C-alpha cells in the first residue's frame, strides 16, 4: 500500500448480523470481508485493519424517508461514533440485500448475503465519488 492509499470499511447493519466489506482508494473496488454480530467487533477490525474511512449503509424507506431509523440503528451509529475517530459516511442501502442475492446466485448462507450487501454499499460510495 502506498502512503496516500486509504482503506475503507463498508458496513451493512442488521439487527442480527452486520456485513462488512473492504476497499481502498487506489483500486476503488469493494470486496466482501466478513460478518460480525456486535459493534465492538467492528471497532477491533477498524484498529487491526488500519481503516481510514467507515461507510455505513443508511436504512432509507423506499419512499426516500430518512427520519424513521430504528432505535437499534441509532444506538449502533451512536456507539460507533463514540468509539472511533475516523470519518463516517452514510450511504443509501435500499435494495442492497436483494442485489446481493442476485450476485450470489443462491441463498447459500446469510453471511455471504450480508457481506455482499456491505460490498455493494461500499462500491456505491466509491462509484459516487469518482
Q: Regarding beta strands 88-92 and 53-58, do their DSSP bridges make them parallel or antiparallel, or are they unpaired?
A: parallel
Stated pTM of the model:
0.80
Q: Give the whole-angstrom CA distance, residue 4 versus residue 100.
A: 31
Q: Which domain holds residue 63?
A: 7-128
Q: What is the pLDDT of residue 112?
A: 77
Q: Indicate whether 2 belongs to any domain.
A: no
Q: Assign residue 74 the CATH number of its domain.
A: 3.30.420.140
Q: Indicate whether 1 belongs to any domain.
A: no
Helices 71-83 and 39-48: crossing angle in degrees, nearest 10, is 30
Residues 1-55: tens digit of each pLDDT: 556 899 999 999 988 899 999 999 999 999 999 999 999 999 999 999 999 999 9
Query: How many domains is the chain partitioned into structurally?
Result: 1
Residues 51-78: tens digit of each pLDDT: 999 999 887 655 555 555 678 889 999 9
Q: Indicate whether 59 belongs to any domain.
A: yes
Q: Which residues contact 90 (CB under 8 A, 6 or more apart)?
A: 56, 57, 58
Q: Give the whole-angstrom CA distance, residue 93 versus residue 57.
A: 5
Amino acid at each position: 500500500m502506498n502512503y496516500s492509499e486509504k482503506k475503507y470499511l463498508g458496513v451493512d447493519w442488521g439487527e442480527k448480523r452486520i456485513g462488512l466489506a473492504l476497499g481502498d482508494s487506489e483500486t476503488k473496488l469493494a470486496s466482501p470481508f466478513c460478518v460480525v454480530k456486535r459493534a465492538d467487533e467492528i471497532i477491533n477490525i477498524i484498529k487491526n485493519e488500519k481503516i481510514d474511512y467507515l461507510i455505513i449503509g443508511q436504512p432509507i424507506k423506499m419512499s426516500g424517508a430518512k427520519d424513521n431509523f430504528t432505535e437499534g440503528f441509532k444506538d449502533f451509529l451512536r456507539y460507533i461514533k463514540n468509539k472511533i475517530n475516523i470519518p463516517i459516511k452514510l450511504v443509501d442501502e435500499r435494495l442492497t440485500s436483494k442485489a446481493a442475492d442476485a450476485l450470489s446466485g443462491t441463498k447459500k448462507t446469510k453471511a455471504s448475503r450480508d457481506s455482499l450487501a456491505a460490498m455493494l454499499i461500499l462500491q456505491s460510495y466509491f462509484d459516487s465519488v469518482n
